Structure 1
Amino acid sequence: MSTISLPTSLCDSTATELLALYRSGQASPLEATQAVLARIERLNPQLNAFCLVDADTALAAARASTARWQQGAPAGALDGVPVSIKDLILTRGWPTRRGSRTVDPNQAWDTDAPATARLREAGAVLLGKTTTPEFGCKGETNSPLTGITRNPWDLSRTPGGSSGGTAAAVAAGLGPLSVGTDGAGSVRIPAGFCGNVGLKPSFGRVPAYPLSPFGSVAHLGPHAMSVADAALMLNVLAQPDARDWTSLPPDGRDYRVGLDDGVRGLRIAYSPTLGYAKNVHPEVAAAVERAVQVLATLGAHIEAVDPGIADPLDICTGLWFLGASTVWSGLTPEQQAVADPDFRAEAELGQRLSALDVQQLNLRRGALGSQLRQFMQHFDLIATPTVAVPAFEARPAGHSPMDPVAMLGWTPFSYPFNLSQQPAITVPCGLTRDGLPIGLQLVGPMFGDALVLRAARAYESAHPAPRPPLARD
């Protein structure tokens, strides 16, 4: 690998590239961490991607990692790589406020969630916590606690949500890796809006603790600058943790193996609307069609076909509002008084659901999952847009009335695959005339995590993604 200039260009290196530099002695974890912290100091006031930065702890970890590399004894697969953690995920020593003024920061924070624990064990340098809307409740990242998070491609636009701080950080070079959560698209929406790779693995592939109050639609997954980085990070995150009784048994797989095997011979169902999305932005539709044509030139067999499902928006939002109502019922009146008005509105909608309503939603979800599993017997992958629209205006919490369409109507391609629990990845596939990223979503069969990574890597290799202007030093 050719020498790169130090130190600021280290911020634009992928995790895979950083590890190669550490191995060759061309750069150290301390140099990389110093560069990233300097860029955070410069850009975070504009982006509001981090709600907590712990430079002293990060530098101490980077020095220890540098010493290990100098001794030829790295501690794990991510030793010395700067990583951030979404502020829904418990991290020992730091408050996890979940974007909410209802959470008291002055309490014992002595537990790592499984994802945090695995990253720490792998030697990652933890930088801090990234912003989220209150309890991850929406596809924009704003909250009364942390304000508005912005998109590094255009500061007037949202980075999406709920992993908006995570996506903005990775896009701007504020650490090459970050952990997000995805309950209705919350990894893929912001990754699509910010021009990153975002993976929602099969449900249970990445253990969680505590389990989400929003139930089994909630996944954890990597945000990264490249597909190879996402595979590397999944290797770490997918390690077992007994605290999550819903997690999958470890498969012992190295997700980097076979990553460059291409898509020749794969059967891909190209579904530009999933049969029901009526308002796909024309530039998004055109870019995704071009991306699918690229996959065809690489040898994939493309068939334009819909999976035959009805729009499950009301199933997803009904179950989501039920989770919001559950959290809301555990808050005191004083806490409720300082909550995000959007979260309050979701909880009130959830309170209207009867036990029979919930049972019917779950039965309809089961029928949807069965239909998609049967469809996947005929195809290896489904290709769709990631989000129906480019990133829209960044707005404050409570900017408009909350209902299912306002919450998720503009992202009709994400939530079906939370309900079905299938793996889905977004990879950048172009820019609008206004210079905003567009994402291609590739959905695999249940447990087909390696397949979606492989297909995304094939596309990425043929169509490298640009970096946002804000990230240039």
Structure 2
Amino acid sequence: MRDATTDRTDQTTASDPTGPTDAADPTGATDPADLTATQLVARYASGDLSPVEATRAVLARIERIQPKVNAFTRVDADGALRQAEASAERWRRGAPVGLVDGVPVTVKDLLLLRGAPTLRGSRTVRADAAAWDEDAPSVARLREHGAVFVGKTTTPEFGWKGVTDSPLTGVTGNPYDPRRTAGGSSGGSAAAVALGAAPLSLGTDGGGSVRIPASFCGIFGFKPTYGRVPLYPASPFGTLAHVGPMTRDAADAALLMDVISGPDWRDWSQLAPPESHFRAATANGTAGVSGLRVAYSPTLGGTARVRPDVAAAVRRAVELLAELGAGVEEIDPGVSDPVEAFHVLWFSGAARLVQPLAADDRELLDPGLREVCAQGAAFSALDYLAAVDVRMALGQAMGRFHTAYDLLVTPTLPVTAFEAGAEVPEGSGHTRWTGWTPFTYPFNLTQQPAATVPCGVDGDGLPVGVQLVAARHADALVLRAAHALYEAGVAEAVAPPVL
């Protein structure tokens, strides 16, 4: 059995003595590791930068930050450099194979990546249990578009909670303060993107698992409409689970969405291909929100206790939307907190996930996961169907709400990053991660597109996120509004972390 120590010591590093480690970009602008995917592609096209140079810079960054934040379960430097060299040759011939040819990418370790074990943060998954010769749909689309896969990122065991620590790989720290959590369950991806360890990452979101860590780490995270990005194998958490981009800004997320929204027959619940490319959503700059009807709900009906510094940063972002021409009204959707229904669906999925495990293997599980699995196993089919009824009613209510409002804006989270290794903030009174994530899981129940945009920092310099939510299928609208906020400088106060 491969344990976390073996996986990390198995990592390889670039060793070409002629290649720079943290070398500046040839244009003199910045280290290639600090460029967005959009910038990288433009510089590849102009000949100012090679995919090999960019990949070396990213690998050097990983080597520096991994001991500090523990964002990776596996790094394949040799494989990444081979892919980068092949990409460089394609660019030299003027024949890139896709939209992200040569762009370094990381993949959350819940998604299949051909040639690498997908251990899912669990000591119960053996590296020799499968051939690992298949890509998840989103990974397959990236491979077809020439992406360079540098590694797999950390997750809590089976992605079950909103922070990232697991019995297999330990704790993932926040890029702004490694003593604090990166959030979860896509915490490794968020930390990697924030620190320049590849500009694009694939995360998964079943109750906020893209948006929570993106908010804590000061990056952009997007949960598309369910089915917009094909998913295989099917999640044990059913139709709560989405695949989404984790990037430095909305423009990169739109680029990544144009890649990973490609169809895949293995997901029978996927949506039809989008009618237009998502990059068009970022074409209008700050004019992208002019005339939009925006509902601002600071507490989502009073169910959330939002810290004053978080509330203030979010309100400033809402005021910026108004300055850009949106019609903003402070109003709640009029829905009640669906946390109990979410627990039934989520905990039942967890119980089904571990059901095949032998008793000895169950003892290897995260103790918190064992607890929610026991709760999930106690629910009946009628309990499950009653939770589905709550979900359907919530979806109807939000559908009605969006006939009057294009966007719903809330805080992404009521708090900023807290102590690493804890499921809930100390002294909060919460027992499970859902207690401090009241703004995220409702929109997994409704399957709506939702994004988090960094909009400020708290008194400790930790990032704050604002959440943008639209009606189902209005993914481009969320990206358009997020891009307008970026163009207007909403994230300027969130300085990139330096470790």
Q: TM-score range by the shorter chain?
A: over 0.9
Question: Residues 75-154 of structure 1 correspond to what in structure 2 (within 5 A)?
Answer: 75-106=97-128, 107-154=130-177
CA contact (8 A) 1:260 1:458 kept: no
SS of corresponding position for 2:311: helix
Structure-1 separation of matches of 2:204 and 2:261: 14
CA contact (8 A) 2:424 2:430 kept: no
From 190, 193, 203, the equivalent of 1:167 is: 190
- 1:142-201 deviation line (CA, Å, top 9, x unaligned): 001000000111111101000000000000000000000000000000000000000000
Q: Identity rate of aligned residues, in percent?
A: 55
Are 1:433 and 2:459 an aligned pair? yes
SS of corresponding position for 2:216: helix
Amino acid at match of 1:100: S
| 1:3 CA displacement | 6.0
- 1:292-339 deviation line (CA, Å, top 9, x unaligned): 000000000001000000011111122100001001211111211211
Cross-structure match for 1:411: 437
Structure-1 separation of matches of 2:238 and 2:424: 25
Question: What TM-score, normalized to structure 2?
Answer: 0.91
CA contact (8 A) 1:341 1:397 kept: no
Amino acid at match of 1:468: P
SS of corresponding position for 1:377: coil
Structure-2 separation of matches of 1:398 and 1:411: 10
Structure 1 gap ranges (5+): none
CA contact (8 A) 1:287 1:438 kept: yes
SS of corresponding position for 1:257: helix
Question: Residues 3-402 of structure 1 correspond to what in structure 2 (within 5 A)?
Answer: 4-5=27-28, 9-106=31-128, 107-261=130-284, 262-395=288-421
SS of corresponding position for 2:456: strand
Cross-structure match for 2:488: 462
After the TM superposition, which of the residue ranges 83-92 and 455-464 deviates more from structure 2? 455-464
| 1:469 CA displacement | 3.1
Cross-structure match for 1:453: 479
CA contact (8 A) 1:53 1:127 kept: yes
Amino acid at match of 2:486: E
Structure-1 separation of matches of 2:304 and 2:38: 39
| 1:5 CA displacement | 3.2
| 1:278 CA displacement | 3.3
Relative to 1, partners in 2 of residues 1:453 and 1:399: Cα closer, same or farther, differing over 3 Å? closer
CA contact (8 A) 2:26 2:49 kept: no
| 1:400 CA displacement | 9.4
Structure-2 separation of matches of 1:40 and 1:380: 40
Structure-1 separation of matches of 2:47 and 2:207: 42
Structure-2 separation of matches of 1:39 and 1:324: 35
Relative to 1, partners in 2 of residues 1:258 and 1:141: Cα closer, same or farther, differing over 3 Å? closer
- 1:8-30 deviation line (CA, Å, top 9, x unaligned): 71111000000111011111000
CA contact (8 A) 1:144 1:397 kept: no
| 1:405 CA displacement | 4.8
CA contact (8 A) 1:309 1:368 kept: yes
Relative to 1, partners in 2 of residues 1:139 and 1:397: Cα closer, same or farther, differing over 3 Å? closer
- 1:212-233 deviation line (CA, Å, top 9, x unaligned): 0001010000000111000000
| 1:253 CA displacement | 2.0
- 1:374-426 deviation line (CA, Å, top 9, x unaligned): 1110000000001110011101689999x985221111100110000000011
Relative to 1, partners in 2 of residues 1:398 and 1:435: Cα closer, same or farther, differing over 3 Å? closer
- 1:329-354 deviation line (CA, Å, top 9, x unaligned): 11111211211111111101101211
- 1:65-99 deviation line (CA, Å, top 9, x unaligned): 00100111101000000000000001110000000
Amino acid at match of 1:341: P
Amino acid at match of 2:471: P
CA contact (8 A) 1:143 1:397 kept: no
Structure-1 separation of matches of 2:361 and 2:228: 34
CA contact (8 A) 2:424 2:436 kept: no
CA contact (8 A) 1:313 1:404 kept: no
SS of corresponding position for 1:120: helix
SS of corresponding position for 1:155: strand
CA contact (8 A) 2:74 2:153 kept: yes
CA RMSD of aligned residues (A): 1.7
Structure-2 separation of matches of 1:121 and 1:174: 21
Structure-1 separation of matches of 2:116 and 2:463: 32
After the TM superposition, which of the residue ranges 251-260 and 227-236 deviates more from structure 2? 251-260
CA contact (8 A) 2:418 2:425 kept: no
Amino acid at match of 2:323: T
SS of corresponding position for 1:51: strand
Amino acid at match of 1:84: T
CA contact (8 A) 1:188 1:425 kept: yes
Pairs aligned (count): 468
- 1:262-312 deviation line (CA, Å, top 9, x unaligned): 101000000001103331111110000010000000000001000000011
Structure-1 separation of matches of 2:358 and 2:302: 41
| 1:260 CA displacement | 3.5
Structure 2 gap ranges (5+): 1-24
- 1:243-273 deviation line (CA, Å, top 9, x unaligned): 0011101124210114243101000000001
SS of corresponding position for 1:79: coil
CA contact (8 A) 1:276 1:310 kept: no
